[in-house]
Structure 1
Amino acid sequence: MDNSQAPERIVNGHEETKLSAQQKPSKGGWRSAIFVIFVEVAERFSYYGVSGNLITYLTNVLGQPTATAAKNVNIWSGVSMVSPILGAIVADAYLGRFKTIIISSIIYFMGMLLLTLSVSVASLRHHQSIFFLALYIISIGEGGHKPCVQAFAADQFNDDLPQEKAAKSSFFNWWYSGIVSGASVSLIFVVYVQDSIGWGTAYAILAAAVAAALGLFLMGIPTYRRQEPLGSPFVRVAQVLVASVRKRRVDATHSDFRVCSEDWEVGGHANGQSGFKTLARTTQFRFLDKALIVDNIDASSKTRNHWRLCPVNQVEEVKLLLRLVPIWLTSLMFTIVFAQLSTYFTKQGSTMIRSINGSRFQIPAASLQAVNGITIVFFTVIYDRILVPVTRKITGHPSGITILQRMGIGHFISIFTMIIAGVMEAKRVRVARQHGLIDSPKSTVPMRVWWLLPQYISCGTSLVFTVVGMQELFYDQIPEGMRSMGAAAYISTVGVGSFLSSAVISIVQAISSRTGHQWLVDNLNRAHLYYFYWMLAGLSALNLCFFLWFAKGFEYKKIEWNDPNEEEKISPNGYYNNGRR
């Protein structure tokens, strides 16, 4: 038997094999990930074909007021981005990522078919309930698709193989660049079809893209690495919290206290192997360490009560989650800024000159979001091929800068995005006033739409830093058995940010109306949208201060290789003595 192919250990429900230098993995790697990337490109093509111009359909076809339409867009986007939390739970605990992707893609396709019918069939065209039902069926499909696809693609890279571990860092850059490319093509092509040919034709194209994506995903089945579901991660989290509370009065300072290790069982080594990986002990959230302590009740029991005594690895997993909470919270302000892209940025552009060199062709206002996507694709290449190698030489860090440093730069740039947007909007209103168009909201303001490019470019640049950083952070720093939840956590910031954006709009409307000078009204020439943008810039600056404070104290995940052949004192019941690792 070739020992180089013998299983090293069992991790997350599958065998990991130690390969010789000459061998290559039979599955996984870029050849598998590329299938999944193209699937996500097609899905983003479909999603942005719906969301990118949705405010136009709601205002121009369904006749909703601008503020109401903006809130409806934000709420739908919010549901679409929060539902992945439920999808991640189902994937991690029950179905696995592979099956969840297939089922959710079918649901997504059904939603796109209903959406196409709701705008094509005359008897359904003005039934808002059918239209919104289709939208929220798509949200359900998003819930299963979004958290699993990214994590499933990243799973194709094995951290134990140096070449694949190095490829994973670049994977997140190219992953985001790919999905932005799909979104950008949709915002240019599909939005044009919507405005010039018809909504039914456009949505039929999107439904076909979803079907093609599912077929492409199935083609890659022979090459995929799969991980089986491990059971509900929330039970493991709850066990640590309950055990910590039950032992809150136990003294953990005594020199003879013992802690539990899941990696060792009574009378033997883990899985019969000579070594294993585990999370390193950390000093943060010391109250959770109470769950590790073996008291008299535990010592006298023949079996371990999981709600009284938890191993080091399980406790450290909960600490990982708690460390990510402040980062998640301070990322919400960034997503509020991002939410303006498909709402008020689009409405700004719709009031301006959008023809090219005096031709009759009008650039759809929603297509300007493609500038944001083009910026992301262009700057991703610069970041991955130029900035990372240069900063790597300076800092010695494999990725040039840390993940949180990358996110912090993105937060900083987002402040200027809102400042620039406010300046451009103030200029647009000034031009409208100079030409007597203040009370003519449907008239075109004699100002080229290209004036809005700086705010789109600034937003795209900030996304390269912040969003890609968030994707990598919430995949890398989450426990391995909860990586779908990690993707869902990142996606949910966009969803919650959309909800908060709607709430902020409502609050601003309520407060500004009392002063007699409403900031957000249907007539943008009479509105004070620039005040709203500058307010968001101020809130973003305040949020950056909190982010930097939390980032300064953040501890990245550390992995230890434990060798039982080293001198360790182990009690007969399988527990470490003195808490030594």
Structure 2
Amino acid sequence: MQGLIILTMTQFIPPLKPCGVDNLKCVNPTKIHKLTFFTAMYCLSLGTGGIKPSLESFGADQFDDNSLTERKGKMSYFNWWNAALCGGLLLGVTVMAYVQDNFGWGTADLILTVTMLITTVIFYLGKPIYRYRAPQGSPLTPILQVFVAALRNRKLPYPTSQDLFYEPGDCETRLLSHTNKLRFLDKACVVGENEVLEGKKPSPWKLSTVTKVEEAKLIVLAVPIWFTSLLFGVCVAQGGTFYVKQSSTMNRNIGNGFVIPPASIHAITAFGMLLFVICYDKIITPVLRRITGKERGISILQRVGIGMIFSAVGMVVAALVEKQRLMVAEKERSQVLSMSVFWLTPQYFIQGIGDGFTLVGLQEYFYEQVPDSMRSIGLALYSSVLGVASFYSSFLIIVVGRVTGKFGSSWFGTDLNSSRLDKFYWLLAAMNGLNLGIYFLVTRKYSYKSVQRKVVVTSN
């Protein structure tokens, strides 16, 4: 909220007003202008990076994993969380974009600041009824302890029975069942012949529990999922960059003189995702549950993979639409084409459906399939997929631009009409196809977290 307050101040406090506002004459932005602007941007970035993983995991923590009803409610929670985000995005790129264009950035920032203040007050009003998780110390130390213990016990023979693995019964955390993946880490919970367990608790740097070992396995198994998700994030990045640039060259007129702001076309993605997650939660999931007999209907990683397929298809559609736009541009030789901006609707809508599958699936994955003490970190890893993917997209554009420039005309010219974004989209589609193959190999025999749930016995 501090970032919004600073941005609002720059529109109403004379020394902070940028050049060109209220006929303010200045050749270049002053140091105070730059300091204020970048302070606001960094505050917004830090606030977003902190609030999104923390608030989302805190909301999911309100559901009891030992209750079947509440577990199903948690599965719906991620759908509705994203529905709320899409609703906010729709308002941002439509209503707020209109306010900014017609009433100024200061008015828009003031509205956002007041809205954020009201929502913060509402959040704190619920403080007495929230469920809280007790702090459990550093979430990373137990993972490191497992690797150290496995290295120390590497020469011990592998047990013939899982009953020989160390797992005390007085553990306060949820116990995890043993899996046969990454068996080299199992040495961390193998009790040696000279290991004395009676009367004292063993050092976690020498002997870990089965649960701690399984938690370490979850982190290791999450690494390839994170990497194979990056290309999906690259495709998502195109929706807010090149897609918007394409829309700025197309006919955006509606009715009598109303012109759609270029950024507002991004609302189609938000609308597509909003519509899809509601249908998925209310229609598709119940049907899948009846068909498969599973709580989720389909597994988390299956949902992510389906979204990746939609993403690849979306790139193909984007390439075909861009090829058509270039043909129109070649005929008309104009900066603003007669081709309607709604030609971009299919690629935006497909991206929205892909987001509904993959983004929500990744949120569930990085919340559910990490140790309980690392759920906020897990959702931060999800956010980092999109952040790193944006850098990856920029790097890819630079490399492709230089390589294609050496062998002829660069795919990224001085303007879109002299560029070949269609070829870049075909490249992304091909890369996504290859990435999908790797993803399916990685997830084909994935071992999900197996929790030893509490059994409640009732008597009549």
User: How far apart are residue 384 of structure 1 and its match?
Assistant: 1.8
- 2-structure distance, mates of 1:156, 1:242: 34
Matched, 1:398 2:290: no
Aligned letter for 1:113? I
SS of 2:448 mapped into structure 1: coil
Paired residue for 2:231? 333
C-alpha offsets along residues 223-260 of structure 1, whole Å, 9 cap, x if unaligned?
A: 11111221111101110011111222222246799432
Paired residue for 2:326? 429
Structure with higher RCO (Cα < 8 A, 6+ apart) = 1
User: How far apart are residue 317 of structure 1 and its match?
Assistant: 0.7
**Match for 1:155 among 61, 81, 100?**
61
User: How far apart are residue 482 of structure 1 and its match?
Assistant: 1.3
- 1-structure distance, mates of 2:261, 2:10: 22
- 2-structure distance, mates of 1:262, 1:255: 16
Contact 1:119 1:131 in 2 (8 A): no
Paired residue for 2:145? 239
Matched, 1:491 2:386: no
Contact 2:228 2:435 in 1 (8 A): yes
- 2-structure distance, mates of 1:255, 1:426: 62
The 3 A distance-change label for structure 1 pair 121 and 297 is farther
Mapping 1:258-337, distance limit 5 Å:
258-264=164-170, 277-299=174-196, 302-337=200-235
Contact 2:306 2:354 in 1 (8 A): yes
The 3 A distance-change label for structure 1 pair 561 and 532 is closer
**Match for 1:447 among 329, 339, 349?**
339
Contact 1:120 1:199 in 2 (8 A): no
Paired residue for 1:368? 265
- 1-structure distance, mates of 2:125, 2:174: 34
Contact 1:262 1:310 in 2 (8 A): no
C-alpha offsets along residues 153-205 of structure 1, whole Å, 9 cap, x if unaligned?
A: 11111122222122111122112111111111111111122223222222222
SS of 2:258 mapped into structure 1: coil
- 1-structure distance, mates of 2:410, 2:288: 47
The 3 A distance-change label for structure 1 pair 543 and 122 is farther
C-alpha offsets along residues 337-364 of structure 1, whole Å, 9 cap, x if unaligned?
A: 001111111111011111113x222101
Comparing 166-175 and 458-467, the one that deviates more: 166-175
Paired residue for 1:229? 135
- 2-structure distance, mates of 1:206, 1:287: 52
Matched, 1:473 2:365: yes
Normalising by structure 2, what TM-score? Answer: 0.90
Paired residue for 2:7? 115
SS of 1:299 mapped into structure 2: coil
Aligned letter for 1:413? F
Matched, 1:419 2:321: no
C-alpha offsets along residues 7-61 of structure 1, whole Å, 9 cap, x if unaligned?
A: xxxxxxxxxxxxxxxxxxxxxxxxxxxxxxxxxxxxxxxxxxxxxxxxxxxxxxx
SS of 2:441 mapped into structure 1: helix
SS of 1:467 mapped into structure 2: helix
The 3 A distance-change label for structure 1 pair 207 and 277 is closer
Aligned letter for 1:282? T
C-alpha offsets along residues 246-292 of structure 1, whole Å, 9 cap, x if unaligned?
A: 2222222467994322434xxxxx57xxxx85100111111111111
- 1-structure distance, mates of 2:289, 2:186: 36
Aligned letter for 1:177? A
The 3 A distance-change label for structure 1 pair 262 and 120 is farther
Normalising by structure 1, what TM-score? Answer: 0.72
C-alpha offsets along residues 274-324 of structure 1, whole Å, 9 cap, x if unaligned?
A: xx8510011111111111122255328944111111111111111111122
Structure 2 residues not aligned, in runs of 5+: 19-28, 456-460
User: How far apart are residue 128 of structure 1 and its match?
Assistant: 4.2
The 3 A distance-change label for structure 1 pair 120 and 540 is farther
- 1-structure distance, mates of 2:349, 2:371: 35
Paired residue for 1:62? none
The 3 A distance-change label for structure 1 pair 310 and 353 is same
SS of 1:298 mapped into structure 2: coil
Contact 1:298 1:305 in 2 (8 A): no
The 3 A distance-change label for structure 1 pair 204 and 545 is same
User: How far apart are residue 134 of structure 1 and its match?
Assistant: 1.6
Contact 1:371 1:453 in 2 (8 A): yes
The 3 A distance-change label for structure 1 pair 223 and 119 is same
Mapping 1:34-73, distance limit 5 Å:
none
- 2-structure distance, mates of 1:256, 1:397: 27
Comparing 511-520 and 404-413, the one that deviates more: 511-520
Q: State, as a whole percentage, how many aligned pairs show the same letter.
A: 39
Matched, 1:250 2:156: yes
Contact 1:432 1:445 in 2 (8 A): yes
Paired residue for 1:169? 75
The 3 A distance-change label for structure 1 pair 381 and 418 is same
**Match for 1:191 among 97, 100, 104?**
97
- 1-structure distance, mates of 2:259, 2:14: 27
- 2-structure distance, mates of 1:446, 1:251: 74
**Match for 2:353 among 448, 461, 467?**
461
Contact 2:143 2:216 in 1 (8 A): yes
- 2-structure distance, mates of 1:255, 1:445: 72
SS of 1:373 mapped into structure 2: helix
- 1-structure distance, mates of 2:238, 2:388: 14
- 1-structure distance, mates of 2:179, 2:265: 47
Q: How many residue pairs are counted as aligned between the two chains?
A: 440
The 3 A distance-change label for structure 1 pair 190 and 401 is same
Contact 2:66 2:454 in 1 (8 A): no
Paired residue for 1:515? 407
